[in-house]
Every structure is written in C-alpha cells, then in structure tokens.
Amino acid sequence: MKNIITFCFCLLFFFVDGQTKISTSWNKRTFLSFDNEQLENRSQLLRYYALSSYQDAVSPTVGRFGSTFISSKDSVTNTRLISMYNLSLLEMITHFVGRENDVFLISKSPFKYYYLPRYGSKESWMIKNSKCFEIMFPNGVIESMDVVDSLIYQLFNIEVYKQKMKIPTNILSRTSKMEKFKYQDNFKSKDTQNGRFVNVTFSEFGKMLTDVNRPFLDETGYFGMIDIELKGIKDWNDINSINKLLNKYDLQIKTEIREKDMLVIKERSCNK
C-alpha cells in the first residue's frame, strides 16, 4: 500500500484555481501534509509540484534579498522543497533577480510578466498576475535549477534565451555639471507619488520611464539621492513633455538605439 501511495505522489500535479484560500496548507509552507508512513519515504519516489495564482493566505518564510523565493531541505523525508510565493512571472523565471531593463518580451499579453508603475496599483496588479509555485523532490535527484526552470517554461508555454539586440533605449543624461537635482533635506521621507521623486535614486526614477521592450539607461554619473518634481505628466511615453520639466534640473532624456544583452522571453504561441 505504501508503494502505491508513493507512486501516486510521484505523478501528482496540482493547479489551484483563482483566489482560492488554502490557508491550512499554505501557512505550513507546503501544499501537502504527509502521514507517518509517507514520511518514511524509503523508496525515494515521494515528490510533487504545484502551481496557483495569487494567494492572500500565504505566510511564507522570507528568502534571500527579502524575497519569497526559498529552497529548503527536510532531513526526515530526505527531500528538498523549492517555494515561490506571490511572485511575478519574471521573478519566477529569473529566481527573483531579473530586471525589467534586461528583458525583451515576445508576448500577446506583455503586462502580465512584471509590474511597471504605469500599470497603477502594484497590489492590484500582484493580485491579478502573480503566481505561487512549489516543487518537492528527493535530495540529490536534481543537481541544478535547470530542471525546475524547464518545468516552469513548460507550464507557461514559453521559451527563454539570451540574445544581443539593438533596442530603443530611454537615456537620461545631464546638460551641465550642476547638480540641481541633488537631494538636500535629510528629513524628507522617500516619495515617488504624483510626479515627485524625493530621496530616491535615478534608477528608481527610471522605472517610470521603463516600458515593455524599451529599457531605461542612466548616464548622469550621479549615484546619490535626488529631489525632483515632474507634476502634470499624463503620459510617461511623452518624452518632449518630460524634457520640458527636466530642463530646470539640467537633465534630458533621449531615445537612442543601443546594443544590449537581453533575456528574451517568448511565448510559443507567437511562433504560429
């Protein structure tokens, strides 16, 4: 009987629908709870993987860089569990370290892969587009993340590869040596709302200028905090309007073709 149960787990796949709350299992940080006979796992076949949409009942362990991407070992079952909780597809594909500026999407729905400020509320975007995924397998069976990555690519029907590309890039540069944008007041709190960029870096400001397949590049040579105000911008693709407001800070944005190594994420349906 034990062997039959173990074999079933070996072939098991879960897809948890929509906003289903599974607080009992997710708060234990695994989808499944095992009986004592399964914990023996003598045949080393006990394994599963599971995929769901956003789960508001998740209370996961925090992994590296403050992420909800974590790998852990269980000495009782002699298994490894890799968990990804409420991550964007880009974070899942790149193990939480991927940047929007380094990605080229070939997709019919590019907005679903990562969040951009121009999409509005990040929380609303996460609820609609983020995913949860976990996979458990015997220790020593998988030596690298390549097998896990291939499974994720298969589940989302995508191809992922690197390619050097010439791509339109929004480039921020200075028009003088003066630092009119420099953050001066140490008591101002961080602010990126309504066209204000206070106590943030140019990199954070650049997120407003990043669009799908149009990366942002900072060539100011300034790495400190900034304090600039660009109120009234209705369209962050309108570079002329943005430059009129940046002019008082001796800053400008130009769109140029630049060659760059990109991570290409291509939906297989786009091949048809």
The bridge status of strand 131-138 relative to strand 79-87 is antiparallel
Which of the two residues, 256 and 42, has the higher pLDDT score? 256
- Each residue of 70-95: pLDDT tens digit? 888 887 777 888 888 888 999 899 88
> Quick one: which of 42, 153, 48 has its CA closest to 93?
153
Specify the higher pLDDT residue, 205 or 19.
Answer: 205
- Residue 11, pLDDT score: 40
Q: Bigger pLDDT: 29 or 132? A: 132
Which among 163, 149, 156 is positioned nearest to 268, based on CA atoms?
Answer: 156
Query: Which of 27-41, 107-121, 200-214, 243-257: highest mean pLDDT?
Result: 243-257
Q: pTM of this prediction?
A: 0.75
Q: Work out whether strand 69-74 and strand 79-87 pair parallel, antiparallel, or are unpaired.
A: antiparallel
Provide the residue ranges of all domains of the chain, joining segments of one domain with +.
Answer: 2-88+130-156, 165-263
How confident is the model over 148-160, as pLDDT tens digits?
899 999 999 999 9
